[in-house]
A and B are shown apart, each in its own frame.
Chain A
Amino acid sequence: MIQKIIRSRWWIAALVLLISLIPISAFAQGSDPSDDDVNEVARQIYCPVCENIPLDTCGTTACEQWRGIIRDRLADGWTADEIKTYFVNQYGDRVLAEPPRRGFNWVVYLVPVVIFLGGGFLFYRGFQQWSSPAQNRNDREMKKVTSKPVKLSEDDISRVEEELRKRSEG
């Protein structure tokens, strides 16, 4: 009987402990974002003070301040997009890791595509020539012959005929 009471007390204590933890963990999630939450947003932002270093890996005081802002805004329930918009309004488009798709920024997105397509085209042409070199060579020679007619004198023609005759006899 005593053992049953002791056992049930342990169960009650465990239950109370479990229940007391539930609201605490929910509160912590809402008010205190983890470092991973902060870095998830921070890696999409670059501080203008330390060029080419994303905010999540930047160690300057300015970057620490910025990460602090992200943490505070996340705790206030802001979304990642809202936080990025805030930074853009404060510090300009250049804080974004990915420039917004408008105006001159399109160059950043279009140039690699153009280079890739151009490279693909050149590769295709090169491959075509490589795969049938004889045909292409004949075509080029034919083109040379047809595009640049050579005028031969009577002497040249007779010398060529003489040469051909010798070869056919020999």
Chain B
Amino acid sequence: MKKILLWGGLGLLLVFLSIGLYRSQQGQVGIGETAPDFELISFSGGKYQLSDYRGKVVVVNFWASWCESCKPEAKDLELAYQFYLNSGDVIFLGVDYVDIEPDALGYLEEFGVTYPNGPDLRTEISQAYRVRGVPETFIIDQNGIISHVQIGPYSSLEHIKSTIDPLLD
């Protein structure tokens, strides 16, 4: 009986360690996977539920005001948002990762970002997407499936469009 308890306890410990190691080794949510649903509450108080946008392409961009490599793509993302705005086929959501609100608002103002942006409260959204750093951008197709994962910043507006346009054809 004692041996069973001892080995059982050791086995349980190994299972916990294995789960922990497995989770830490997992990369981002990948292409072809269903995008985890989330609710983003923007800095202005608007609520945006990802699942409400089935039938549209959704661009989810993770960023932070302290992130230097996020800055070069900020203006391009806004330009892309403006480019697709009239069609209504593409939704842009900005998720502010581990940031403080005054600095985040300053960042949005500095780069003239007008699409919905909000804090990642309790880092629940970034954990669901297994984000490892910022910037990271997920392109989600009309069926809620991830079609592109951009690790690091986009290099240009054309680069952004090249990951969205194939879904609109």
A64's closest neighbor in chain B, by CB? B66
CB distance from B24 to the nearest CB of A (A): 10
Return the CB mask of A54-90 against B: 1 if under 8 Å, else 0. 0000001110011011000000000000000000111
Known: A47-B98, A49-B98, A65-B100. A111 touches B13 (CB 8 A): yes
Question: Once bound together, how far apart are the Cα atoms of A93 and B122, in whole Å?
Answer: 8
Let me know if B119 and A90 touch, CB within 8 A.
Answer: yes
User: Looking at the complex, which one of B66, B119, B121, B123 makes contact with A94 (CB distance below 8 Å)?
Assistant: B123
Q: A107 in the interface, Cβ–Cβ < 8 Å?
A: yes
CB distance from A151 to the nearest CB of B (A): 31
User: Residues of A contacting B160 with CB < 8 Å?
Assistant: none
> A-B contact count, CB below 8 Å?
40
Q: B64 in the interface, Cβ–Cβ < 8 Å?
A: yes
User: Residues of A contacting B122 with CB < 8 Å?
Assistant: 88-93
CB distance from B123 to the nearest CB of A (A): 5
User: Looking at the complex, which one of B66, B99, B119 makes contact with A60 (CB distance below 8 Å)?
Assistant: B66
Interface of B is mostly: helix
CB distance from B59 to the nearest CB of A (A): 23
Most interface-central of A69, A92, A107 (chain B CB within 10 A): A92
User: Residues of B contacting A69 with CB < 8 Å?
Assistant: 100
User: Looking at the complex, which one of B100, B119, B121 makes contact with A66 (CB distance below 8 Å)?
Assistant: B100
Q: A118 in the interface, Cβ–Cβ < 8 Å?
A: yes
Let me know if A65 and B103 touch, CB within 8 A.
Answer: yes
Q: A33 in the interface, Cβ–Cβ < 8 Å?
A: no
Let me know if A48 and B9 touch, CB within 8 A.
Answer: no
User: Residues of B contacting A61 with CB < 8 Å?
Assistant: 66
Q: B38 in the interface, Cβ–Cβ < 8 Å?
A: no
Let me know if B98 and A91 touch, CB within 8 A.
Answer: yes
User: Residues of A contacting B121 with CB < 8 Å?
Assistant: 89-90
User: Looking at the complex, which one of A47, A48, A118 makes contact with B6 (CB distance below 8 Å)?
Assistant: A118
B64's closest neighbor in chain A, by CB? A62
Question: Once bound together, how far apart are the Cα atoms of A48 and B64, in whole Å?
Answer: 13
User: Residues of A contacting B127 with CB < 8 Å?
Assistant: 92
